[in-house]
């Protein structure tokens, strides 16, 4: 799959009529694949589409909860849209463990496993420098796959806004801004701004920008 570089919505042309998870087909509004800069160095991963994302088709976008997240992206210089406009993202890509939403429950382990090829393909093709797991579930899944740190040594409240060395990536866990305190939000902005101000790139044969 070649990315449509000018298209931010599902730039890799992933299956938008996927029926691999039968329990999610009926309750979802649509399949929500990744969105953003196809050559991004920063990749944010949530657990599942929010209610707003289920309506808009864009991860982390579409309701009041998502607006708190978009405010952080704008503060970091990743997003340039007005609050009521679709995100115009630069150097950042947004996605999730699962692509469909059941409004009554979180995804099952089986559903996350079934959706894993979509996420793995995005990570492989984007080849980001920094993975940002948003929330406890995303942190647990990405830490298990991309770090050598034992799962019982990783905790979102403790590791929020800190750098965790991974296999080919660094992870910077994030408490969702809609669920964080003002001090936690400020800590993430401070830590990420410091990260952006130094050489965060890994020596892993990354393609040039």
Note the pLDDT tens digit of each residue in 49-62.
Answer: 999 999 999 999 99
Which pLDDT tens digit goes with each residue over 101-130?
999 999 999 999 999 999 999 999 999 999
The CATH number of 22-196, from 3.50.50.60, 3.40.50.2300, 3.40.710.10, 3.40.470.10, is 3.40.470.10
Q: Are the beta carbons of 189 and 195 closer than 8 angstroms?
A: no
The whole-angstrom separation of Cα 101 and Cα 62 is: 14
Largest CA distance in the chain: 46
Q: What does the domain layout of the chain look like in residue ranges? A: 22-196
Buried b / exposed e across 133-165, counting CB within 10 Å, b at 16+? bbbbbbbbbbbeebbeeeeeebebeebbbeebe
Ranges of beta strands (E only) in the chain are 35-36, 42-46, 92-96, 130-133, 164-165, 170-171
Lowest mean pLDDT among 2-6, 15-19, 86-90, 152-156: 2-6
- Provide the β-strand partners of residue 102: 105
Please report, rounded to a whole number, the percentage of residues in the chain having pLDDT higher than 90. 81
Mean per-residue pLDDT, 182-188 = 97
Tokens of 179: 């669920």
């Amino acid at each position: 799959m070649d990315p449509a570089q000018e298209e931010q919505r599902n730039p890799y042309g992933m299956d938008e009529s996927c029926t691999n998870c039968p329990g999610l087909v009926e309750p979802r509004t649509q399949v929500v694949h990744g969105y953003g800069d196809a050559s991004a160095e920063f990749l944010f991963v949530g657990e599942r589409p929010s209610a707003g994302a289920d309506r808009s088709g864009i991860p982390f976008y579409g309701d009041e909860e998502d607006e708190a997240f978009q405010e952080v992206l704008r503060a970091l210089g990743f997003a340039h849209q007005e609050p009521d406009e679709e995100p115009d993202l630069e150097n950042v890509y947004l996605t999730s463990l699962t692509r469909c939403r059941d409004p009554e429950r979180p995804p099952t382990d089986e559903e996350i496993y079934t959706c894993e090829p979509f996420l793995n393909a995005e990570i492989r093709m984007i080849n980001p420098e920094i993975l940002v797991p948003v929330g406890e579930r995303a942190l647990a899944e990405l830490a298990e796959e991309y770090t050598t740190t034992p799962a019982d040594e990783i905790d979102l409240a403790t590791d929020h806004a800190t750098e965790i060395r991974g296999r080919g990536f660094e992870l910077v866990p994030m408490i969702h801004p809609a669920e964080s305190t003002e001090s936690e939000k400020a800590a993430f902005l401070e830590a990420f701004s410091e990260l952006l101000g130094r050489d965060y790139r890994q020596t892993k044969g990354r393609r040039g920008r």
